[in-house]
Amino acid sequence: MRKVRAVVVDDEPLARDELGFMLGELGVDVIGEAANASAALEVVDEMEPDVVFADLRMPGPDGIALAEALKKRRPDQTVVVVSAHDDGAIRAFEAEVLDYLTKPVRMDRLEACLERVKAQLKPKKKAAEEPLDRLAVKRKGGYVVVDIGDVIYFQVKDELVWAITQDDRFALDLTLAAVSRRVSEDDFFRSHRGCLVRVSAIKTIEPSGTGTYELLLEHPDEPRVPLARERVRRLRERIPFAG
């Protein structure tokens, strides 16, 4: 079974980092994070996670209001509320959240929560999508066939998903989340909510401040793509930092 894909929402960066680390230790792929409800809605729409861990008390709409908004947009979306207080539990369960975790979150309690998340996913499991090996991309009234093996990276730009090869770029009629599900995890790495890169094409990993990095890719244009803070540890697992 593939890894559970999660988004963490909390207005405190340290709290996001701590929960993200714990989830990673339990084998969860943290594919995005947000500091407030409005940003979370955008991240969830783009990343299509299996579960959203939402802090209860945040500036603006709280975690329960976020859960309600997510349920309206994505009725099957699994949400877990996290709070330093237990006074929101009744409201949370009325909003049909899966679980309510109190801070500081214990590892055994988080592990039990994830078992519930996985149990929720099984009934919703869709027929397996075919691996994406080739794409027919519309161009000048016809279609150009693109081999996924030729793609260096996929990037969201100008509200379109682009597939970039060594000598061309193609606009796709697919979301980046859909592409990510169908390409090989051995070959590609989601470096950022808007970037999916071929691991073997990563040439250098350069700090860009505040715990973030940029990836310089093997390509004639030497493109640089962002590496989100929450994805650094995952990349270290793929390409160990030995220096």
CATH number at residue 17: 3.40.50.2300
- 66 domain-assigned: yes
> Same domain, yes or no, for 31 and 118?
yes
Burial group, residue 179, by CB count within 10 angstroms (0-12, 13-18, 19+): buried
pLDDT of residue 128: 55
Q: How many domains does the chain have?
A: 2
What are the tokens at 171? 């606009």
Beta bridge partners of 5: 29
The full length of the chain comes to 243
Q: Where are the beta strands (DSSP E) in 103-232?
A: 134-139, 142-147, 151-157, 160-165, 169-172, 188-192, 195-198, 202-209, 212-217, 224-227
Tokens 């890169």 correspond to what residue?
197
Domain end (from 124, 152, 170): 124
Residue 165 lies in a domain: yes
Q: Tell me, yes or no, whether 142 and 217 share the same domain.
A: yes
- The pTM is what? 0.68
129 in a structural domain: no
Half-sphere exposure at residue 107, Cβ-oriented, CA atoms within 13 angstroms: 7
Q: In this structure, are 154 and 195 located in the same domain?
A: yes
Q: Report yes or no on 243 lying in a domain.
A: no
Domain range spanning residue 163? 134-238
Q: What is the pLDDT along the chain (243 residues), one digit of tens a residue?
A: 578 999 999 999 999 999 999 999 999 999 999 999 999 999 998 888 999 999 999 999 999 999 999 999 888 899 999 999 888 888 888 889 999 999 999 999 999 999 999 998 866 555 456 888 999 998 888 899 999 999 999 999 888 999 999 999 999 988 888 898 889 989 999 998 889 999 999 999 998 877 778 999 999 999 999 998 878 888 888 898 776
Beta bridge partners of 134: 147
Q: Pairing relation of β-strands 188-192 and 151-157?
A: unpaired
Note whether 91 and 65 are same-domain residues: yes
Determine the pLDDT at residue 124.
55
Count of CA atoms in the C-beta half-sphere (13 A) of 160: 9
Mark whether 160 and 86 lie in a shared domain. no
User: Does residue 212 share a domain with residue 147?
Assistant: yes
Q: DSSP for 70-86, please give it.
A: HHHH-TT-EEEEEES-S
Residue 227, burial from CB neighbour count under 10 angstroms (0-12, 13-18, 19+): buried
- Contact, 69 vs 41, CB < 8 A? yes
**Residue 66 three-state SS:** helix
Residue finishing a domain among 124, 146, 177: 124
User: In terms of domains, do 15 and 110 share one?
Assistant: yes
- 202 and 163 within one domain: yes
150 and 203 in a single domain? The answer is yes
Looking at 73, 94, 124, the residue that finishes a domain is 124
